[in-house]
Amino acid sequence: MTHALIVIDVQNDFCPGGALAVPEGDAIIAGINGMMKQADAVILTQDWHPAGHSSFASSHPDQAPYSVIKMAYGPQVLWPDHCIQGSNGAAFHPDLDQSCADLIIRKGYNPAIDSYSAFFENDHITPTGLEGYLRSRDITRLTIVGLALDFCVHFSAVDAARLGFDVTVRQDLCRAIDLDGSLDDALTAMRSAGVSLG
């Protein structure tokens, strides 16, 4: 059974000092680097938004950051501007070992739709191409780590399980935002989808 490590969004804007910092987001990096040599493939994902993205609160003058609005594809949290293409905030954290990466998947670059999952945009239909890459390499087992546990890790893990992959999320190598109970909701959803929580 071929195994891939999926490293979700370990970027400057999600680490302390960043525009959308996840508490202790940088504390997981050494552990993630240590896992890379154990995997048959390492895939890094990168949030990659154009300026003025529709998921930014600044694009909706009547809305505050972290409020939720209805988009054509469903509810959408409005975030502070973050991970803007080509910015230092969008860059991988300098301590993350990129030398082992077989593939980098950029997501969230469509200005009209956000993309939490490494597999699909938030319409749950438009693919990123990751599934095809994994299947072409006969990869069936995934370990998912990174930021943030209750958003991009959660949606990636649930999608992977629904696509038939054997999925483990290493909670010790993730950190969460925990927005209005989002962490408990995410853990419940992952368990219900058949994700193993390590």
What are the residue numbers of the active site?
9, 107, 152
Cα separation, 143 vs 168, whole angstroms? 5
Q: Is 75 exposed, middle or buried (0-12, 13-18, 19+ CB in 10 A)?
A: exposed
